[in-house]
Amino acid sequence: MKMWLIAWKDIRHYLADKKTLLLMLLMPVILTAILGSALKGIMNGEAQSFPETTVAVSNEDTGTIGKMLVDDVLQSESLKEKIHVKTASSAVEAEKWVKEKAADVAVIIPARYSHTAEEGEKGKIRVVIDETKSTRGMIVESIVTSFASRVDVVGRTLQMVLSDIGATQPMSMETIVPEVMKDIERIANDPGTEVTGGAAGKKAATAMQYYAAAMLAMFLLFNLIQGAKSILDEQSQDTLPRLWTTPTSKGSIILGKFFGVLAFALTQFLIFVVATHYMFGVDWGNNPLQVAVLGIIYSFAVSGMSILLASLSRREQDVDTIGVMGIQVMAIIGGSMVPLAIFPDAMLYISKLTPNYWALNPLLDIMMGVEWQALLLPNLILFAFGAISLVVGTWRLRAR
Amino acid sequence: MLQITDLSKSFGNRMAVKGVSFHVKRGELFGLLGPNGAGKSTVISMICGLLQPDQGDVLVDGLSVQKQPVKVKEKIGVVPQDIALYGDMSALDNLLFWGQMYGLSRKNALKKAEDVLEVVGLADRKKEKLAGFSGGMKRRINIGAAIMHEPELLIMDEPTVGIDPQSRNHILEMVKSFNAKGVTVIYTSHYMEEVEYLCSRIAIMDEGEIIALGTKEELVSRLIGVSSMELKVDRVSETLVEDIKKIPGVTQVTREEEGLTIFAENPKERLGDVVLAAKGQGVAVTSLEVKEPNLETLFLTITGRKLRD
Ligand SMILES: Nc1ncnc2c1ncn2[C@@H]1O[C@H](COP(=O)(O)OP(=O)(O)OP(=O)(O)O)[C@@H](O)[C@H]1O
Ligand SMILES: [Mg+2]
């Protein structure tokens, strides 16, 4: 059928593109390795003997990430007994408190820290330590750096992938690979990895498991952009109008494009699960069938959403504007950048509006062992995401 | 074969096509001639079901494009004005893809692709990616993709735009031979020479309207007795134009960049008068030539403008 002809053409196009293979298949595996191994500490909420510490905090950041560090990391369940946060009105005041021994450590979060983190730039949190109490200082410092580097790596990668997947000119691998290697090195040397006692996850998933699920949920989202771009590419290269002039219904043509994205998303899912399992021993739980079903339905959801995104965009730049922003927001609030476990409750509500939330959580559940029944809701919601997007998107594209 | 009645289309408040009607008989090589922006591509888009007309009908073999789009599209092959192919696929793969999109089985498409590659003269480069082809070669594959399914009606929208003379001649000969095999062809161009060379019947379009329609002979016969002269001078002045208009037999004078085009009933007998008029104004004549009437002159007499600048 002609639908499959179009899908097959697209699949061959995706798989022949080195850039796509690197960004969509290799990058998530590398990132999982980085995040999962380097950030073990903060994930395993083992209670440790921890000296009582007073932390002076100056938070000039108006975004969510600075607040998250204060409320959900420093003041998390396991730490709030031991860490007393004193809010300073300015960086100068916080430093003064340390000097005057009114606090043991000062944590200074610069203005626009969330913003720079989300944009993938380097925002720097400063930690000022009272030299006479250096152990406490170092523990707090490593908690902070560990948190900051995680935000930083994911933020930067997200930014890089989004800008490269959007770029029409071929990406230069020479520039990307060293960048990633630098990150790996930096995080590997990060003293924060040694420290335990961060936020205790609600789940008992290991850091590796958590980030495997998170990266999988996030990287499948990139199919939204890839799929929508593929449609608009055909539009600008005049092959889409030419397809319309063939004796093929518009519906079959759009479905062909949809199945092309779906097939790639499924490939991505499968390769990622198999690779992380065999290369890093990620435990995806005891029920491969549950993983497969969720994978299929999540792939369906992102493919459907790519059709909707294409229908909302007139030109390729629109895909960038709408898609890149949308994915950034979804990646952050859907739990792919910082663990859902440290999210405040209000944030968890918003999380539920993102498809990656409904992929990440059930994946974690499956890893821990879960009944089919508990997977019904996430699967239904993901199916609805896909079906509604596909129907609305097809309808809008046909009317063009 | 094709019947178009009162076709109109607007984009915003610009009317691109204003009540166009014509018909094309089976086996005809029909030319649609007009300057840039005349509305040729818009008419073609409506014929092949890409655009919905605001008004009017398109019937192909008695079937309405709007009511039975799929049936109609099976009969038509369209060569779009812009190259519409996949650059990352080989020439052969492009032909196979488009052939199958028109309903050929893979096996038949493979067989047909070999023929088409011969016809377009690219059989030896079929395995190469299209992105590495020259403009003229892409144009030929662009045509090839439209003839894979052996359409009854082939619509070509400026298939020779921007290519070298060699590829151009190849394409013109191809069009002739398709037509000789019984394919009905609609050939769009703003090159008067091409249309004159190829087509038996011609419609001339300008600003969304058909301003002349008929066989080549019919169109040119409208100009009998109204031939033209091309006068080249070192400078053109308004008074010179006025003086020449006063010469008996002169019907129309249009200003060009470095001279005038003068329409007169019997130009050969007016040469002397024209030179005298120029002398009278103190203008130096660099050349003066009598032009045989052609479609270009026809367009000029109707619109007062040249087909191309
Ligand atoms: N999609 C569109 N949106 C808005 N205006 C359009 C659109 N397509 C065509 N037009 C306008 O309609 C008019 C006719 O355009 P059309 O492309 O049909 O001309 P044409 O005769 O094919 O010209 P050319 O020889 O340059 O291809 C032009 O003024 C053009 O600007
Ligand atoms: Mg045109």
Q: Where are the alpha helices (DSSP H) in A281-371?
A: 288-312, 316-318, 325-333, 345-351, 355-368
Residue A264's closest CA among A328, A221, A233, A215?
A221
* One domain, residues B171 and B186: yes
pLDDT tens-place string over residues B180-201: 999 999 999 988 888 888 998 9
* One domain, residues B25 and B114: yes
Does residue A238 belong to the interface with chain B, where contact is any CB pair within 8 Å? yes
pLDDT tens-place string over residues B70-100: 999 999 999 999 999 999 999 999 999 999 9
Q: Across residues B212-233, what is the average pLDDT?
A: 79
**Residue among A3, A5, A242 with most chain B CBs within 10 A, to mutate:** A242
Listing DSSP states for B213-265 in one string gives EEEHHHHHHTTTT-EEEEEEES---HHHHHHHHHSTTEEEEEE-SSEEEEEES
* One domain, residues B178 and B254: no
> What residues of chain B lie within 8 A of the CB of A242, using their CB?
78, 80, 84, 98, 145
- Place B256 in a pLDDT band, splitting at 50, 70 and 90: confident
Q: How many angstroms does the Cα of residue A377 sit away from the middle of ligand 1?
A: 51
Q: Which two tokens stand for residue B250?
A: 């002169």
Dihedrals phi, psi of A315, to nearest 5 degrees: -130, 170
* One domain, residues B182 and B49: yes
Q: Output the pLDDT for position A170.
A: 45
Region for B82 from its dihedrals, namely left if φ exceeds 0, alpha if ψ lies in -120 to 50, beta otherwise? beta
Cα dihedral: B169, B172, B176, B182 (round 10)? 140
The answer to whether residue B59 is domain-embedded is yes
Residue A26's closest CA among A215, A217, A255?
A215
* One domain, residues B144 and B162: yes
When mean pLDDT is compared across A351-355, B208-212, B301-305, the lowest value belongs to B301-305
Number of domains within chain B: 2
Contact, B104 vs B112, CB < 8 A?
yes
Is B308 close to ligand 1, i.e. is its CB under 6 Å away?
no
A3 to chain B, minimum CA–CA distance in Å?
9
DSSP letter assigned to residue A247? S
A85 forms beta bridges with A55
Q: Within a 10 A sphere around the Cβ of A46, how many other Cβ atoms?
A: 10
- Percent of chain B whose predicted confidence (pLDDT) is above 90: 49
Residues B100 and B122: their CA atoms lie apart, in Å, by: 20
A237 and B88 within 8 Å at the Cβ level: the answer is no
> What residues of chain B lie within 8 A of the CB of A247, using their CB?
69-71, 73-74, 102-103
CATH number at residue B11: 3.40.50.300
The answer to whether residue B305 is domain-embedded is no
Q: Output the pLDDT for position A181.
A: 52
The answer to whether residue B200 is domain-embedded is yes
The answer to whether residue B303 is domain-embedded is no
Q: Could you tell me the CA-to-CA distances from B216 to A80, B24, B30, B76, B302 in Å, in that order?
A: 93, 15, 10, 25, 16
The residues, any chain, with a CB within 8 Å of residue A210's CB and separated by 6 or more, are: A36, A43, A201, A203, A339, A364
The pTM of this model reads 0.77
* One domain, residues B148 and B204: yes
Is B197 close to ligand 1, i.e. is its CB under 6 Å away?
no
Q: Between chain A and chain B, how many beta carbons pairs sit less than 8 Å apart? A: 53
Helix (H, G, I), strand (E, B) or coil at A289: helix
Domain boundaries, given as residue ranges, for chain A: 2-38+202-399, 49-189
* One domain, residues B166 and B274: no
* One domain, residues B265 and B211: no
* One domain, residues B54 and B31: yes
Residue A246: its H or E element:
none
Q: Name the closest-CA residue to atom 17, ligand 1.
A: B41
Q: Could you tell me the CA-to-CA distances from B153 to A160, B51, B64 in Å, in that order?
A: 49, 18, 15
Which stretch, A161-170, B46-55, B211-220, has highest mean pLDDT?
A: B46-55
Domain carrying residue B263: 225-292
Contact, B230 vs B244, CB < 8 A?
no
Helix (H, G, I), strand (E, B) or coil at A86: strand
pLDDT tens across the length of chain A (400 residues): 899 999 999 999 999 888 788 888 888 888 787 666 544 444 444 334 567 888 999 988 877 677 777 876 777 666 677 788 889 988 899 989 988 888 888 999 888 887 776 665 666 788 888 877 777 777 777 777 767 766 666 666 666 666 666 554 444 444 555 555 555 555 444 433 332 222 333 335 676 788 889 889 989 999 999 999 999 999 999 999 999 999 999 999 999 999 999 999 999 999 999 999 988 888 999 899 999 999 999 999 999 999 999 999 988 888 878 887 888 788 878 877 766 666 667 777 888 889 999 999 999 999 988 899 999 999 999 999 999 999 999 999 988 7
Q: Within a 10 A sphere around the Cβ of A400, how many other Cβ atoms?
A: 10
Q: Which two tokens stand for residue B69?
A: 């789009």
Q: Output the pLDDT for position A247.
A: 94
Given a cut of 80, is residue B276 above it in pLDDT? yes
* One domain, residues B134 and B109: yes
Residues A258 and A236: their CA atoms lie apart, in Å, by: 18
- Percent of chain B whose predicted confidence (pLDDT) is above 70: 97
* One domain, residues B206 and B243: no
Listing DSSP states for chain B in one string gives -EEEEEEEEEETTEEEEEEEEEEE-TT-EEEEE--TTSSHHHHHHHHTTSS--SEEEEEETTEETTTSHHHHHHHEEEE-SS--S-TTSBHHHHHHHHHHHTT--HHHHHHHHHHHHHHHT-GGGTTSBGGGS-HHHHHHHHHHHHHTT--SEEEEESTTTT--HHHHHHHHHHHHHHHHTT-EEEEEES-HHHHHHH-SEEEEEETTEEEEEEEHHHHHHTTTT-EEEEEEES---HHHHHHHHHSTTEEEEEE-SSEEEEEESSGGGGHHHHHHHHHHTT--EEEEEEE---HHHHHHHHHSS-S--
Q: What is the CATH number of domain A49-189?
A: 3.40.190
Residues B82 and A298: their CA atoms lie apart, in Å, by: 38
Contact, A58 vs A109, CB < 8 A?
yes
Render the burial of A112-130: b for 16+ CB within 10 Å, e for the rest.
Answer: bbbebbbebeebebebbbb
* One domain, residues B134 and B255: no
A400 to chain B, minimum CA–CA distance in Å?
10
State the Rg of chain B over Cα.
23
Given a cut of 80, is residue B150 above it in pLDDT? yes
Q: Name the closest-CA residue to atom 26, ligand 1.
A: B36
